């Protein structure tokens, strides 16, 4: 059976490896054995029974492993095979007797006594005469091992080598023999050994484990262990089969089983304790009081297992093998990588790393639906909020099969295994009703498995949430970004405010959290809002699809979270299995590069920085030692800096691309601003930075690369090669090109959220690093913008400080540098700004304005002290707004377009997309759990920057241009107006002017909130009262227009149609009102419950 067939049934269930009660064979073809060497413990002893043989096995030319076996072990195998043959022959005779008795009519009265001498491994005999004959190994085949011919020591070793080779060839040439339990145990192989998705074969074998949790399928029968450990085992110890893989240690009940009893997924270990401090290891030997007990411990994250073997030598073998698997390559899972991330940068070679962006829910949900429909094996989903009744395609009336629960049910019935991990909210604070979602999803099918986490009381986690939004299909494609699969998120680039009668947003999907949050989600088709009076709140978001190694990195993160949740919440629930992460090459940075260049560049970088960092690549792994996992590449890959000839197709589509991507002295990181280090501890932040900087600098200046004819005005939506789970780019700017990129997964996790031994804040580190290295501009869209300057003891994340320093550096160098921030005009929580129950809204506003423009802690205040009026040439803030009729002939209404995207674009070459907000909750790692990806372009096109030629990245440039086209209301033929993001013609004359003009028009027509003319709560009350009296009805943020606008002209009142003014609106961009409520302290007061809540909740 192929590995594909095995996986299609789910790789964690033994049922998929058993058919009709028979064992599925491990070997599909015969392995090959070679005796490498023969040794003896004492050169003076010529006893052949003391000889040890180093044997190398090879299977399918992809898997190689070596075993050290003694002659006595081979003989034990021989006798076990003979015993098995005798037992099976006896069973065959019993069957013949049964048939004879049945033929004479006395079968029912005669009991045939079964032989109690069953194999101690519980094997099921095969009652087949041919099988018995095939499994029989004649004793004469083993005789040469016992009595090699007499002679000198060398000749004895040579003869013993020949004898052993002959014996191995005897049974390794027989498919029945190699797949029997005795031989598989001798070869140390299992059903997991040769599944390529789990990596190369490493060490395996029977061990004893203490206090093994009773996870699904755990075998409580440990009677057979008595003889295994010389009588010292007790009921606390269980005999299991251990399988070591590059990313984990799995424990199985049996080598022919794949149902996990337990698993330790390797995590980054804590740093060693300084010079002379003790090193941290995955595995370490334990000294027992009883000298006959041989024990070691394996610990990773918050997991720890005590394991015993039968000898001290085996303990050392296991400890060495485990530590080598996780620690020897500095590129492995037990070392932090660039930004302190658990995952290394991918795509540094042609490893299949690809990315594609989606703007707004329509495009993203369509792609997700298509991928779910194409799922063959398994689907992982996690989110902050998930609604089973969400329609992924609209109009909903003609797409009933595209409802999320219907899609999952269809795939579950086809055998696809579906794992859903929901955030378990504090019900008093949030109304997302994950309990209802779990119940609804769990009832779909037995192949849909759902968990909610965390449980509040046992974990003590009351303030923080699981905030990632992930969909992973078949380990092939992953969707990551800001979109939850829930109500209110589906939207189009038009961002309509009305849908009456409903055709796009049914029931509670017509959503406006500013007005009202539903009290119940069970009757989902029933409207919560009055569509004739209240607009929906349009939703702007950015999502991303990943293929290749980054997808598997994210799947590994999901597996870590799932297993952590199961251990804490449902350790004995058999319906919720543990998962194994699939594997791939962990960071082939050294592929296709010159070691001399590599080392020299690192030395230069360290000298420039004035620091000496640990050499993360001091021991490079030879290519031949990395089977299975490397991409197929052309021979003779040239090192960076050497010109390469492109194919005709490449020359036609994009310029010459250096193997290492962006490069040159004017590249993204070609110079580092000389600013004070943010954190003196560079252990996590800088461990991988040297190689990253080197990757960006080696070679020639990218802007001097030969031109190929592709310009920024060309269509970027050219579709990629067709493949599984492919998503084609569209022509409306909502779906980007599928592009080969360098990608690195980053996250915010800690012990409570993922079971890690240390807090990871690689998202925070990535933001700071990318901003620090930016050359021309930083574009940010985020749901929140709460950060602190140096010395701020309240807010801990330092994105604001890095922005400040980068702007100051640009001013000193007299260079053009822009920072543009797009964010919600108001927090997306229920309640008017002045309402009694809206303390949360005001608290978030306080911390955001404190970051932006209020008090000494704000960036605008600090920059204006230094730069004066020029401050706004460097940094500016914006929101999005739209308008429309609530129904045909109904009132004109406006609403903010809620900016929920979490994206940053730097220099049109690097993009950061994920679930993380810019606040302490998302960035510190110890609070909300988040995940994101840094995407660096490898394909470039001709553009301009500050009036000069510039090689813009295909992914980043196309994403920015599509976002800006939507915000500015540009058409396809007007893209060239925004190709240079920092020029005065783009930034001042188009971007700034559009935002200003749109803001004025909205204010004239709606007097909507927020605006700069309202500076206090008293002024807000006065304005609200005036418009309510005049209109009779308005929204919570003054979103209804009067039927006629009144103005004075020549002393007379003139009335005009509001549409006459609104038709001059372009796009959705408006200025962020920096003066709104600037005379108020918006923090909670003593008579509000939020006053007694930690301020950390709001920031």
Q: Give the other-Cβ count within 10 Å of 653's Cβ.
A: 17
* 853: three-class secondary structure by DSSP: coil
- Kindly report the number of other CB atoms within 10 A of residue 643's CB atom: 12
| Assigned token pair, 515 | 């007005």
Cis status, amide bond into 454, omega within 30 of 0 = yes
DSSP state of 802: H
Rounded distance between C-alpha atoms, residue 964 and residue 959, angstroms: 9
Marked catalytic residue, from 584, 900, 951, 954: 900
Q: d(Cα 87, Cα 116) in Å, to the nearest integer?
A: 10
Structure tokens at 127: 């009652």
Region of residue 15 (phi > 0: left; psi between -120 and 50: alpha; otherwise: beta): alpha
SS3 letters for 311-345? CHHHHHHHHHHHHHHHHCCCCCCCCCCHHHCCCCC
Q: Is 776 a catalytic residue?
A: no
- 467 catalytic residue (yes or no): yes
Catalytic residue among 907, 908, 928, 1037: 907
Can you name the residues that pair with 780 across neighbouring β-strands? 821, 904
Q: Is residue 438 flagged as an active site residue?
A: no
What is the three-class DSSP state of 592? Answer: coil
Rounded-to-integer distance, Cα 245 and Cα 620, Å: 20
CA–CA separation, 128 vs 89, rounded Å? 9
Rg (C-alpha) for the chain, rounded Å, is: 33
Q: CA torsion, points 266, 271, 277, 282, in degrees to nearest 10?
A: 0
Has 971 been annotated as catalytic? no
Residue 238's SS3 state is strand
- Which token pair is 810? 């640009």
**Number of Cβ within a 10 Å radius of residue 62:** 13
Spatial strand order in the sheet of 204-210: 260-265, 248-252, 237-245, 204-210, 303-309, 294-300, 283-286
Candidate list 245, 337, 469, 967, residue with the active-site label: 469
Nearest to 931 by CA among 421, 501, 540: 421
User: Phi/psi zone of residue 488: left (φ > 0), alpha (ψ -120 to 50 degrees), beta?
Assistant: left
- Closest Cα partner for 420 from 383, 474, 446, 387? 383
Instruction: State phi, psi for 881 to the nearest 5 degrees.
Output: -145, 150
CA 872 to chain centre: 37
The one catalytic residue among 185, 902, 938, 954: 902
Q: What is the DSSP letter of 466?
A: B
541 is catalytic: no
CA–CA dist 905, 1072 (Å, integer): 20
Pairing of the two strands 892-896 and 875-885:
antiparallel
Joined tokens for residue 853: 């423009």
902 counts as catalytic: yes
The CA–CA distances, whole Å, from 708 to 649, 654, 737, 905, 908 equal 11, 6, 19, 25, 19
Cα separation values, 381 from 385, 450, 597, Å: 11, 9, 43
How many other C-beta atoms are found inside a 10 Å radius of the C-beta of residue 1081? 10
Active centre residues (catalytic)? 467, 469, 474, 900, 902, 907
């Amino acid at each position: 059976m192929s590995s594909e067939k095995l996986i299609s049934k789910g790789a964690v269930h033994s049922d998929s490896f058993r058919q009709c009660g028979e064992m599925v064979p491990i070997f599909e073809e015969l392995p090959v054995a070679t005796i490498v060497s023969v040794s003896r413990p004492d050169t003076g002893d010529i006893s052949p029974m003391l000889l040890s043989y180093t044997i190398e096995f090879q299977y399918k030319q992809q898997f190689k492993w070596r075993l050290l076996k003694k002659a006595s072990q081979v003989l034990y195998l021989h006798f076990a095979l003979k015993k098995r043959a005798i037992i099976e022959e006896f069973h065959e005779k019993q069957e013949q007797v049964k048939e004879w008795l049945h033929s004479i009519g006395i079968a029912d009265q005669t009991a045939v006594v079964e032989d109690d001498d069953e194999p101690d491994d519980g094997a099921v005999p095969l009652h087949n005469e041919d099988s018995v004959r095939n499994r029989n190994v004649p004793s004469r085949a083993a005789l040469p091992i016992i009595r090699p011919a007499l002679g000198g020591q060398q000749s004895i070793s040579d003869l013993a080598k020949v004898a052993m080779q002959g014996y191995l060839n005897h049974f390794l040439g027989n498919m029945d023999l190699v797949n029997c339990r005795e031989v598989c145990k001798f070869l140390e192989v299992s059903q997991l050994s040769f599944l390529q998705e789990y990596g190369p074969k490493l060490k395996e074998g029977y061990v004893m484990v203490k206090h093994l949790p009773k996870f699904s399928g755990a075998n409580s029968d440990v009677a057979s262990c008595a003889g295994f450990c010389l009588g010292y085992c007790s009921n606390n110890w269980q005999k299991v089969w251990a399988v070591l893989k590059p990313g984990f240690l799995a424990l199985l009940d049996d080598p022919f089983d794949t149902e996990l009893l337990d698993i330790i997924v390797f995590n980054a270990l804590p740093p060693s304790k300084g010079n002379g401090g003790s090193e941290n290891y995955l595995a370490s030997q334990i000294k027992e009081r009883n000298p006959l007990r041989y024990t070691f411990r394996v610990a990773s994250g918050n997991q720890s297992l005590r394991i015993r073997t039968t000898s001290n030598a085996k303990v050392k073998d296991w400890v060495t093998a485990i530590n080598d698997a996780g620690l020897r390559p500095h590129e492995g899972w037990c070392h932090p990588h660039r930004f302190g991330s658990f995952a290394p940068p991918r795509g540094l070679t042609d490893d299949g790393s690809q990315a594609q962006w989606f703007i707004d829910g329509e495009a993203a949900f369509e792609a997700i639906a298509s991928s779910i429909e194409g799922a063959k094996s398994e689907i992982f989903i996690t989110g902050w909020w998930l609604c089973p009744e969400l329609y992924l395609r609209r109009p909903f009336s003609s797409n009933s099969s595209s409802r999320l629960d219907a899609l999952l049910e269809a795939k579950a019935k086809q055998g696809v295994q579906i794992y859903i991990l929901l955030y378990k909210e504090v019900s008093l604070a949030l109304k997302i009703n994950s309990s209802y979602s779990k119940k609804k999803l769990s009832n779909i099918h037995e192949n849909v498995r759902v968990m909610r986490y965390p449980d509040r009381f046992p974990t003590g986690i009351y303030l923080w949430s699981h905030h990632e939004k992930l969909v992973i299909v078949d380990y092939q494609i992953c969707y990551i970004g800001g979109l939850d699969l829930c109500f209110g998120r589906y939207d189009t680039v038009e961002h309509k405010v009305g849908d009456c009668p409903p055709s796009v947003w049914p029931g509670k999907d017509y959503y406006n959290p500013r007005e009202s949050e539903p009290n119940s989600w069970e009757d989902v088709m029933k409207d919560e809002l009055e569509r004739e009076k209240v607009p929906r709140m349009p939703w702007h978001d950015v999502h991303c699809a990943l293929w290749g190694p980054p997808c598997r990195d994210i799947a590994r993160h999901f597996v870590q979270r799932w297993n952590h949740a199961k251990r804490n919440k449902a350790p004995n629930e058999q319906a919720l299995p543990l998962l194994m992460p699939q594997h791939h090459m962990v960071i082939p940075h050294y592929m296709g590069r010159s070691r001399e260049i590599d080392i020299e560049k690192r030395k230069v970088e360290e000298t420039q920085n004035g620091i000496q960092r640990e050499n993360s690549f001091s021991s490079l792994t030879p290519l031949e030692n990395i089977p299975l996992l490397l991409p197929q590449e052309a021979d003779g890959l040239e090192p960076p800096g050497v010109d390469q000839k492109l194919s005709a197709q490449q020359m036609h589509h994009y310029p010459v691309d250096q193997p290492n991507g962006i490069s040159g002295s004017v590249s993204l990181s070609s110079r580092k601003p000389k600013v004070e280090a943010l954190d003196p501890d560079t252990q996590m932040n800088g461990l991988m930075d040297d190689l990253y900087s080197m990757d960006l600098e080696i070679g020639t200046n990218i802007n001097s690369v030969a031109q190929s004819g592709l310009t920024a005005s060309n269509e970027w939506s050219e579709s990629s090669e067709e493949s599984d789970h492919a998503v084609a780019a569209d022509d409306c700017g909502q779906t980007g090109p599928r592009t080969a990129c360098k990608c690195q997964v980053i996250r915010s996790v800690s012990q409570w959220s993922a079971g890690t031994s240390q807090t990871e804040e690689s998202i925070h580190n990535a933001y700071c690093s990318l901003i620090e290295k930016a050359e021309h501009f930083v574009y940010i869209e985020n749901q929140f913008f709460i950060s602190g300057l140096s010395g701020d003891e309240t807010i801990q994340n330092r994105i604001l400080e890095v922005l400040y320093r980068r702007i100051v550096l640009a001013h000193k160098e007299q260079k053009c540098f822009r920072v543009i921030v797009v964010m919600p005009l108001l927090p997306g929580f229920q309640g008017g700004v002045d309402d009694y129950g809206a303390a949360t809204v005001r608290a978030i506003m306080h911390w955001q304005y404190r970051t932006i423009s209020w008090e000494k802690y704000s960036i605008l205040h600090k920059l204006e002290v230094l730069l004066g009026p020029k401050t706004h040439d460097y940094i500016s803030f914006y929101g999005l707004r739209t308008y429309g009729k609530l129904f045909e002939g109904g009132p004109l209404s406006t609403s903010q377009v809620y900016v929920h995207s979490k994206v940053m674009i730097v220099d049109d070459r690097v993009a950061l997309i994920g679930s993380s907000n810019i606040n302490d909750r998302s960035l510190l790692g110890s609070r909300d759990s988040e995940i994101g990806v840094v995407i660096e372009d490898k394909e470039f096109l001709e553009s301009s920057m500050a009036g000069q030629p510039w090689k813009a990245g295909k992914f980043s440039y196309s994403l920015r241009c599509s976002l800006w086209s939507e915000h500015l209301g540009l058409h396809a033929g007007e893209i060239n107006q925004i190709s240079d993001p920092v020029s005065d013609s783009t930034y001042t004359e188009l971007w700034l002017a559009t935002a200003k003009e749109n803001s004025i028009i909205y204010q004239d027509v709606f007097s909507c909130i927020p605006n700069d003319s309202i500076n206090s709560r008293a002024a807000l009350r006065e304005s609200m009262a005036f418009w309510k009296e005049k209109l009779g009805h308005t929204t919570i943020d003054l979103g209804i227009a009067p039927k006629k606008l009144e103005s004075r002209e020549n002393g007379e009142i003139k009335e005009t149609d509001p549409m006459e003014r609104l038709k001059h609106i372009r796009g959705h961009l408006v200025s962020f009102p920096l003066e709104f409520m600037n005379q108020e302290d918006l923090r909670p007061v003593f008579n509000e419950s939020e006053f007694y809540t930690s301020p950390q909740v709001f920031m």
